[in-house]
Structure 1
Amino acid sequence: MKPLMLQGHERAITQIKYNREGDLLFSSSKDNKPNVWYSLNGERLGSFNGHQGAVWCIDVDWTTTRFLSGAGDNTCKIWDCETGKEIGNIVTNSSVRTCMFSYSANMAVYTTDKAMKQPCEMFIIDVRNVDESISHQDPILRIPINGPRVSSILWDNLDESIITGHENGEIITWDLKTGKKMNSVKEHDSLINDMQWNKDATMFITASKDHTAKLFDAESLALLKTYKTERPVNSAAISPIAEHVVVGGGQDAMDVTTTSARVGKFDSRFFHMVFEEEFGRVKGHFGPINSVAFHPDGKSYSSGGEDGYVRVHNFDSSYFEYNLDY
């Protein structure tokens, strides 16, 4: 399984995301230029130039016409996918940590960090007619987060609720009609780095600093499965075609220099979704893996690491023939 190495960032990758068809792969990093690549051959299509700080989060809408990015320069920007031009810029009081389009892409959500005496807040905005004036428009909904800050976010596919993962390991469902909490659980002991849906958005997987990835039911937030590792988990994704999950992580970036890559455990690890058993590892990164994503057809997956590389792996035929004999 020889990977495609996508080298277009100067600093650590923060997030990678496929569009719905899977022909494009978007990546953001701690440098200030999100990139877009052809996922088939790894060719870089272009970059989105305009941020002045580390880009923490990205999202692309259902039709791949709009692109959303949030950064440490206290802005959330909306871009035209085709031209790469900035069409909307929202200035915030602190850095933007998470952002996501709604399923219909009529709305978007972003959250800001608790920093510089500013509280953590969640904003719902209308993105149907984006132009320069969006920076002055009031959000549809503004929800102050009184507890620990939001570190990851999901929007349900009926546009009725939002699920947030927090710094203390709590997961909360918010009702968009009222802006109130509907449900909350605390199954993690530490920061939730990443949350991703399964194909039909009935379950989602979380990745946490407490060395586990967990599978939850979307409606009830019931804990279904736990995947344990010996290192902090930075990202986890669910295969769209098989009962497999991939998790990526590794020790904190600041501790990496004290250990060799062999000890650092910078592998993508594959678990069986139901049996919670690890059945494969893919090596290659020289630092912790910060983001993983399955291709929408399930035939390949990508990982982005602290080393600044995005690696696209196409699965061998043996992967599809594999089944657990129980």
Structure 2
Amino acid sequence: MKRVQNPQICHGHSRPIVELAYSPVTPDGYFLTSASKDGLPMLRNGANGDWIGTFQGHKGAVWSCRLNNTAMLAATASADFSAKVWDAITGDELHHLEHGHIVRTVHFAHQSSKLVTGGYFQQRLRIYDLQKMDSEPGTVRDVPDKVRCAAWHHNDNLILTSYTDQPGIGVWDTRTSTLVKTLQTGKEVTSIEISQDGRYVTTADGTEVRFWDGDKLEPIKSFSQQYSVESASFCPEKGRFVAGGGDMWAHLHDYETGAELECNRGHHGPVHTIRFAPGGESYASGSEDGTIRIWETDFAQKTENGDAAAAAAAAVTSAANGS
């Protein structure tokens, strides 16, 4: 009989979870941030989900929450027409970044002090240099639609953006503020993830999970699902990807074949966000039901192997006892 996985359930939010993001591994471990419509982004221990703190100050739903590479800074994007930068150690607000409309996404550059924001304001991206906050932010103008997601490419010169009302991913060169490429998708892209080593870009649109070469920004493969996919995450070390969406379940797949390996049930609403932890031993899902659930990767395979080993050991013991 197949065992049912009991995930670590993280309570604390009172409204839907709309984005989760892990930090890289730091000398103090790794961390998990959550953005929620309750307006109270949270910081947790990434390994076990234990609550560390809440960033208090927004007056509207928080759509995005990110940590920088050292996990010393956090950034948030909100429906209150602002983005904020926080000290992730003390929880203090460091910078209040006023915008003219809803801010939907924030993302730290990988190797620099830059932060990009995007949303419903004037169809543009703003780029802040956190070491020069007295200066006006840079802008990428002529973005064709309201921005849903924005993510720095690993070279910190390009930004990948998706839009709320049109398909495709725009690749913008921040040095020239020009669109240099568009990655074609069938539907609006609701999730963009760039792997920690920069080799892969994983996206979700409609019922598709797509994988792109992180250097060439060319398609590698895609897999169609039987449900609307809102978020997807890839772990190259494990050869696994996870996806979540409208059917309320967290799905684990084999990257080579696309085969579904596990379907984890437990959420009571659509899964809006799903992300692998560093190293891929677990992954977290956030839902309309206001909870975060942390799942063990390859749980079924591990338990089957463990049960088989236990049965073999019991057989050896039984034979030795002459029974």
**Following superposition of structure 1 onto structure 2, how do residues 207-286 of structure 1 map, counting pairs within 5 Å?**
207-208=204-205, 210-250=206-246, 265-286=247-268
Aligned length: 297
- Give the stretch that moved more between structures: 160-169 or 72-81: 160-169
| Secondary structure of 2:145 counterpart | coil
Following superposition, the deviation at residue 277 of structure 1 comes to: 2.2
Aligned to 2:183: 185
Among residues 113, 121, 127, which one is paired with 2:130 in the alignment?
127
Q: Distance in 2 between matches of 1:318 and 1:241?
A: 18
Please list every run of 5 or more consecutive structure 1 residues that lacks an aligned counterpart in the other structure. 251-264
**Following superposition of structure 1 onto structure 2, how do residues 17-32 of structure 1 map, counting pairs within 5 Å?**
17-21=21-25, 23-32=30-39
Aligned-CA RMSD value: 2.0
User: Between the two proteins, what is the percent identity of the paired residues?
Assistant: 27
Aligned to 1:11: 15
Following superposition, the deviation at residue 245 of structure 1 comes to: 0.6
Aligned to 1:256: none
Query: Against the structure 1 CA distance between its residues 306 and 119, is the aligned structure 2 distance closer, same or farther, given a 3 Å change threshold?
Result: same
| Secondary structure of 2:160 counterpart | strand
Among residues 203, 206, 221, which one is paired with 1:206 in the alignment?
203
- Residue-by-residue CA offset, 1:118-165 (whole Å, 9 max, x unaligned): 522101110126xxxx4x6411x2112342222112211221211112
Runs of 4 or more off by more than 4 Å in structure 1?
Answer: none
Task: State the TM-score, normalizing by the size of structure 2.
Answer: 0.87
**Following superposition of structure 1 onto structure 2, how do residues 51-200 of structure 1 map, counting pairs within 5 Å?**
51-113=58-120, 118-128=121-131, 134=133, 137-139=135-137, 141-167=138-164, 168-188=166-186, 190-200=187-197
Query: Against the structure 1 CA distance between its residues 170 and 76, is the aligned structure 2 distance closer, same or farther, given a 3 Å change threshold?
Result: same
Following superposition, the deviation at residue 23 of structure 1 comes to: 2.9
Please list every run of 5 or more consecutive structure 2 residues that lacks an aligned counterpart in the other structure. 305-323
**Following superposition of structure 1 onto structure 2, how do residues 38-53 of structure 1 map, counting pairs within 5 Å?**
38-53=45-60
Q: Distance in 2 between matches of 1:201 and 1:320?
A: 29
- Residue-by-residue CA offset, 1:36-74 (whole Å, 9 max, x unaligned): 112333321110000000000111001111100000000
Aligned to 1:308: 290
Q: Distance in 2 between matches of 1:277 and 1:313?
A: 18
Following superposition, the deviation at residue 101 of structure 1 comes to: 0.4
CA contact (8 A) 1:225 1:276 kept: no
- Residue-by-residue CA offset, 1:236-289 (whole Å, 9 max, x unaligned): 000142111100101xxxxxxxxxxxxxx2111122212222222111100000
Q: For the pair shown, which has the larger CA radius of gyration, 1 or 2? A: 2
Among residues 251, 269, 272, which one is paired with 1:290 in the alignment?
272
Following superposition, the deviation at residue 305 of structure 1 comes to: 0.3
CA contact (8 A) 1:96 1:110 kept: yes
Following superposition, the deviation at residue 198 of structure 1 comes to: 2.5
